[in-house]
Each structure stands twice: as structure tokens, then as C-alpha cells.
């Protein structure tokens, strides 16, 4: 089936302000494997849009050559609401300006009621169980109605992704190395994704606590398996967040090879025909998300970083000094900010004027930290 482009209208937030999603569809509906990819759910994280721009070009070529074997859905701009939020010439797309909060938090809980919906349908056949669970997930979304523009965006994206074998939520960080988030059940099975994209850190958690987009589609499977331990229920949706470096890393020199890596991953998973070649050498081993130190400030001030992104540091290393520009004595104006773990400096905050409690860096360690309990994400 040749490629199609679908336009999905969102519920207008005000008269004359209608927005829509553009959806690129490849392959036959219902073909397997199904892959869903979207870019820039945080609309001020631009690199992923350029990556999917290049991926669409590669998929178009594959489609014309008849090499699409599964179903592929690509949404190159996942958040037209946030993309329109420009304040004093600055794009602010992480939070909905109407009060809806972080665009990548509090997604619908697809596990709620799922066990009851599938209880009478599960068998000793894993393939049949996967089909029944996907049907129940779709039915659960059909029961939902959107009352706001944001809710209509979330519902539209969820309906596109919910029955996929692969879901890739493509973001970026502030100033960072390329990295990846997965649930623990998808390691080491997800190593091919980590290695192919060149992830410098692959962070695992069973539940990060924020109901982020990726976990919306991966955790219902593991939770359902825990409810029905005597039924074969695989973790049938490899759902991941890919962080394409930092916000300023927008350019064809990064995006084109990143898209080629995604294309090879789709080949490895049988979604696109062709030989992807040998898997690249791993750039990291997976580590637990609760072993990643989110370094925060205790006071307001100006940051003076002492370690670059990519540095390997020890616990107690000064990551930055916090400068009080209003101090009477400049000699007493600096407070060191230290990391609690040995590891890799994965990311840094780009703006240097900070408030108390702001996260300024992430350091990827290997040992879980007592301070990292419950909610593991940054807001």
C-alpha cells in the first residue's frame, strides 16, 4: 500500500485557532511489526523534528521501492500547541500555557481497568493474548472523550501509538549527549536500539513516576503480566524516549546520520526490508535511572560550570560553583555544587541564572542513590 498523509484536527482552544497533526503512514494498516515515531512532544526541543524530516525521506524512498514490510506511523511535529507558544520572541514549549502542565507528564493511565477487560480473553497462547490486549487497549481509548485542546492532542497521539510493537518518543535535553530511556523489561532486548543510535547512556526504570508518554505504552504490559502470572504476556511494546543531544544541536550533520540509524533499526526489527549491516559497537551499558544523580542548587545565583558534558567524574567532584553576584565580598561569593556519584556528566542546564532547587546537571552512575526514590524525572 503506498504512503498516505493524514490530517487529524485538534479541538480548537479559541475561535479561529484550529490546529492539526500531520501523520505520515506507510504500509498496510494492521501489518506487523508496527512502528510509531513522533518528534518534539516538548515543542521547544527541536532536534528530533529534523531527524524525522530525514527519516521520512528515507522511508519515502523505501516505500517507492516496495520495501515497507510492516506498518509505520510518523508524526514529525507531535505538539503544534506548544510550537505556537512564543512569549517575547522565545519559544516555550515544555509546559502548556493554559495550565495543562508538562506536555510529557500525566498521560492517560491505560492500565486502569485493563485487567478486567481482558480477564476472560487470556489463553495459554502468547500471540493470541497480545492481540486481545491490544484490542482492549484500543477499546479503552475509544471510551475516552477530549474536552480540551490538550486532551484532544493526547488522545489523538495515543490512538496512533497504542497498538504498536515499537514506540519511539523523540526528544532532546538541554545540553547533553545522546541518550535513551527504557523500562527494565526491555533490556537487554532493546540493546539493538541503544547500540544503533549510539546512545551514550541508556537509563532503565520500572516506573519513573510521571506517567510519561513512553511508559504509557510499555508499562501496561508488565503490570498486566504481574496480575496474571500464569498467562504468557510478553512486554509487547518496545516504547522508548530518545534524547537527541541538546536544544542547540540542530543541524543536518547530526540529524541525517541519526535518521539513518533509525532506519537501520527498523530494518533490524523487520519493519523495512534490507540489510542494515553489522550492529555498531556499544557506546554504553544500561544503568538504572535511580543511579543517575540529578544535581540541584540549594540557592539562587549564577552558575560557573567546572565540568563539561562528557566528563567522567567521581563522587564529590565539583560540577559547578554557584556565584552570589550580590555578595559584599567576592571571595565569599562562591558555593561548590558537587555530585553524589561516580559517573558520566550526561547533561547540563544551558541557562546560568538559577533558583533554589533547579536541576543543573545529570551524572550517570552505576549504584542506586538513596536520594532517588519515587518520582525520578525532572520537571
**Which pTM value belongs to this model?**
0.97
- Residues of the chain under the 70 pLDDT cut: none
Q: For residue 158, what pLDDT is reported?
A: 98
Examine the domain organization and report whether 317 and 350 are in the same domain.
yes
Examine the domain organization and report whether 297 and 212 are in the same domain.
no
Q: For residue 376, what pLDDT is reported?
A: 84
Question: Cα angle vertex 261, ends 255, 264, to 5°?
Answer: 145
**pLDDT tens digits for 124-145?**
999 999 999 999 999 999 999 9
Number of domains in the chain: 2
Exposure string of 158-189, with b = 16+ CB inside 10 Å and e = fewer, is bebbbbbbbbbbbbbbbbbbbbbbbbebbeee
Does residue 104 belong to any structural domain of this protein? yes
Examine the domain organization and report whether 255 and 315 are in the same domain.
no
State which residues form the domain around 96.
4-284
Q: For residue 378, what pLDDT is reported?
A: 85
Provide the CATH number for the domain around residue 50: 3.40.630.10
Distance CA 156, CA 154 (A): 6
Contact 183, 218 (CB under 8 A): yes
Task: Work out the burial of residue 79: count CB atoms within 10 Å of its CB; fewer than 13 is exposed, 13-18 middle, 19 or more buried.
Answer: buried
Amino acid at each position: 500500500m503506498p504512503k498516505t498523509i493524514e490530517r487529524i484536527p485538534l479541538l480548537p482552544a479559541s475561535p479561529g485557532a484550529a490546529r492539526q497533526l500531520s501523520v505520515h503512514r506507510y504500509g498496510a494498516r494492521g501489518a506487523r511489526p508496527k512502528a510509531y515515531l513522533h518528534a518534539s512532544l516538548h515543542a521547544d526541543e527541536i532536534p528530533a523534528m529534523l531527524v524525522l524530516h530525514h527519516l521520512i525521506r528515507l522511508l519515502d524512498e523505501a516505500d517507492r521501492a516496495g520495501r515497507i514490510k510492516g506498518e509505520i506511523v510518523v508524526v514529525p511535529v507531535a505538539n503544534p500547541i506548544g510550537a505556537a507558544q512564543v512569549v517575547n520572541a522565545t519559544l516555550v514549549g515544555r509546559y502548556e500555557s493554559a495550565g495543562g502542565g508538562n506536555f510529557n507528564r500525566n498521560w492517560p493511565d491505560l492500565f486502569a481497568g485493563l485487567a478486567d477487560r481482558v480477564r476472560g480473553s487470556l489463553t495459554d497462547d502468547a500471540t493470541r493474548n497480545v492481540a486481545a490486549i491490544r484490542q482492549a487497549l484500543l477499546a479503552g481509548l475509544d471510551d475516552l472523550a477530549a474536552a480540551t485542546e490538550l486532551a484532544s492532542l493526547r488522545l489523538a497521539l495515543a490512538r496512533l501509538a497504542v497498538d504498536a510493537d515499537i514506540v519511539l518518543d523523540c526528544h532532546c535535553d538541554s545540553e547533553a549527549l545522546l541518550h535513551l530511556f527504557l523500562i527494565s523489561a526491555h533490556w537487554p532486548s532493546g540493546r539493538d536500539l541503544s547500540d544503533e543510535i549510539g546512545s551514550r547512556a541508556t537509563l532503565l526504570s520500572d516506573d519513573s513516576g510521571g506517567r510519561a508518554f513512553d511508559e504509557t505504552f510499555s508499562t501496561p504490559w508488565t503490570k498486566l503480566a504481574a496480575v496474571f502470572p500464569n498467562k504468557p504476556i510478553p512486554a509487547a511494546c518496545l516504547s522508548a524516549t530518545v534524547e537527541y543531544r541538546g536544544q542547540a544541536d540542530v543541524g543536518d550533520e547530526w540529524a541525517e546520520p541519526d535518521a539513518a540509524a533509525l532506519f537501520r533499526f527498523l530494518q533490524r526489527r523487520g519493519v523495512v526490508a534490507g540489510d542494515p549491516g553489522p550492529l555498531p559497537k556499544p557506546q554504553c551499558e544500561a544503568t538504572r535511572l535511580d543511579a543517575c544523580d540529578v544535581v540541584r542548587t540549594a540557592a539562587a545565583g549564577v552558575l560557573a560550570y567546572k565540568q563539561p558534558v562528557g566528563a567522567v567524574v567521581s563522587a564529590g567532584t565539583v560540577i559547578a560553583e554557584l556565584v552570589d553576584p550580590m555578595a559584599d565580598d567576592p571571595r565569599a561569593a562562591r558555593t561548590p555544587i558537587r555530585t553524589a556519584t561516580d559517573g558520566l556528566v550526561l547533561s547540563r542546564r544551558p541557562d546560568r541564572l538559577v533558583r533554589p532547587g533547579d536541576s543543573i546537571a545529570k551524572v550517570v552512575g552505576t549504584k542506586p542513590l538513596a536520594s532517588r526514590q519515587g518520582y525520578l524525572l525532572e520537571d
